Structure 1
Amino acid sequence: MATDSKSGEKMFLAGFEDPVAVARYSEGPRRFVPGLDALHRMTGLLLAESAPRGATVLVLGAGGGSELKAMAEAQPDWRFVGVDPAGEMLKLAERVLGPLMERVTLVQGTIDDAPEGPFDAATCLLTLHFLDAAERTRTVGEIHRRLRPGAPFVAAHASFPQEEPDRDGWLDRYAAYPAAMGADRADVTKARAAVAASLHCFAPEQDEAILRAGGFADAALFFAAFTWRGWIGHA
């Protein structure tokens, strides 16, 4: 990370509190994350392998509401607690969820503001890359602490080789996908620069080690798409 990464990170995150930027958010992840809808579907299927009927699911990084909507539609007897630090993103989640909100409680804050549980399952999608290694490990541990024994946890975020020249090549691939999907070239260039300078991206091996250190000893990779990886583990 560059020496000014903290200021860059704050600028990156500020967009999630900008009403204009948030209004354009919904299509962004689908253009930048290959297979996002499939990731949401697989997440629900993986949780359903061991979550009981009537499960209560903790969703960390729930702003925007897309994964909440996918899981709520697939599992009509589940309830959800969605946590996100960005108030504008939670407002968007309310709009996206519509009548599904009757089964969802939204909390503005971080993992420390989440209810104690215990929860029957948890997810953290496209979120942990905003946290440095120490905070990421702590957050994963706090998720683990809030789960019932054996409860499943799915995490997915930016994760790719960090040694040069591999890192630069993977960032080029990160940018090539949305460009091929029709995203504005200037937006793609800006996004690539922001990811390179501001996100806390680690190699997949380090990410998996963090999940195991946080308590998910059986963490296993189930999703890989260019610069994105996803894991399933159990408390």
Structure 2
Amino acid sequence: MLAHASTSIPSIDASATPAQLRRFFYAAYCDTPTPLRWLSAVRPYVCPFDKLLQFVRDGADVLDVGCGAGSLLALLAAMKKIRRGVGCDVTAAPLESARAAAQRLGAENILTFELIRSVAEAPEGPFDTVAMVDVLHHVPPRDRSDVFAAAVRRVKPGGVFLYKDMTARPGGRRLAHNIDDYIFTREWVEQVPEGAVEAWAGDHRLTLVHDEYLPRLIYGHELRVFQRPER
């Protein structure tokens, strides 16, 4: 069941709390099927959007690789933080929800969403920011370095590669993530080993400018921000 078209979307800024983000996403995704609407609404309690936003400069062109329903780009567009956002994913259904949210936000001229078969088909750009959030743990380990390489090639000189994924550190938070993914995807995922993305980034001359471990509820997140040299 879909919400009425009269649903208003609350304004949002970088200081928004998870509860405020929940209300924002619940309104922005009111034209999508109820299960996805609820998932989008509760995601701010798990995903540290507040930490990601600060690494996207104002007026940036952004590519979100594996964007799903487009939550990150929807948030950036609503905050009027970016000039353009392109999301791409290998699954069609979430992209329909992303397009519906963009239209409801009045951002259909800023945000576009593309169905791809692999990261190699993503728009070339280059982009000021390329984001890859909770993607690599779904990629077979043998293919991860190639997927990473394809994504970072789309970062312009001086630009930023924004990486966030679930923690591989032993313990309950890692187990909670595995159980969560199994419930929703029927996939027992294998997290990206610690140090792997740093090694791949070094192969592509990217500099690590920020790294942080972020516990949220029962989950743990690894945030890495890399910058490409100006030349």
* Structure with a larger share of its residues in strand: 2
Residue matched to 1:25: 36
- AA of the residue aligned to 1:92: S
**Structure 1 contact 61–82 (Cα < 8 Å) conserved:** yes
The 1:73–1:61 alpha-carbon spacing in structure 2 relative to 1, beyond 3 Å, is same
Residue matched to 1:111: 119
- AA of the residue aligned to 1:101: E
* The one of 120, 136, 143 aligned to 2:128: 120
Q: Please, what TM-score do these two structures have when normalized by structure 2?
A: 0.69
* The one of 173, 194, 197 aligned to 1:170: 173
Matched, 1:43 2:52: yes
Q: How many residues align?
A: 191
**Structure 2 contact 99–112 (Cα < 8 Å) conserved:** no
Q: In 2, distance between residues paired with 1:170 and 1:40?
A: 18
C-alpha RMSD over aligned residues: 3.0
Q: In 2, distance between residues paired with 1:232 and 1:24?
A: 32
Residue matched to 2:152: 144
**Structure 1 contact 144–215 (Cα < 8 Å) conserved:** no
The 1:200–1:106 alpha-carbon spacing in structure 2 relative to 1, beyond 3 Å, is same
The gaps in structure 1 that reach 5 residues or longer are 1-20, 176-186
Considering Cα pairs closer than 8 Å and 6+ residues apart, tell me whether 1 or 2 has the greater RCO: 1
Residue matched to 1:102: 109
The 1:192–1:116 alpha-carbon spacing in structure 2 relative to 1, beyond 3 Å, is closer
The 1:95–1:216 alpha-carbon spacing in structure 2 relative to 1, beyond 3 Å, is same
The 1:30–1:231 alpha-carbon spacing in structure 2 relative to 1, beyond 3 Å, is farther
Where in structure 2 are the equivalents of 1:1-235 lying within 5 Å? 23-28=34-39, 31=42, 34-36=45-47, 39-48=48-57, 54-98=59-103, 99-109=106-116, 110-161=118-169, 166-167=170-171, 169-174=172-177, 191=183, 194=186, 197=188, 199-218=189-208, 220-225=210-215, 226-235=219-228
The 1:30–1:157 alpha-carbon spacing in structure 2 relative to 1, beyond 3 Å, is farther
The percentage of aligned residue pairs carrying the same residue is 18
The gaps in structure 2 that reach 5 residues or longer are 1-31
**Structure 2 contact 208–224 (Cα < 8 Å) conserved:** no
**Structure 2 contact 76–82 (Cα < 8 Å) conserved:** no
Q: In 2, distance between residues paired with 1:193 and 1:101?
A: 29
Q: In 2, distance between residues paired with 1:135 and 1:64?
A: 23
Deviations 1:59-82 (A, max 9, x none): 111121211111112234520111
**Structure 1 contact 124–156 (Cα < 8 Å) conserved:** yes
Q: Please, what TM-score do these two structures have when normalized by structure 1?
A: 0.68
> Which SS does the other structure have where 2:164 is aligned?
strand
- AA of the residue aligned to 2:162: V
**Structure 1 contact 59–123 (Cα < 8 Å) conserved:** yes
Q: In 1, distance between residues paired with 2:121 and 2:88?
A: 8
> Which SS does the other structure have where 1:115 is aligned?
coil
Q: In 1, distance between residues paired with 2:51 and 2:68?
A: 19
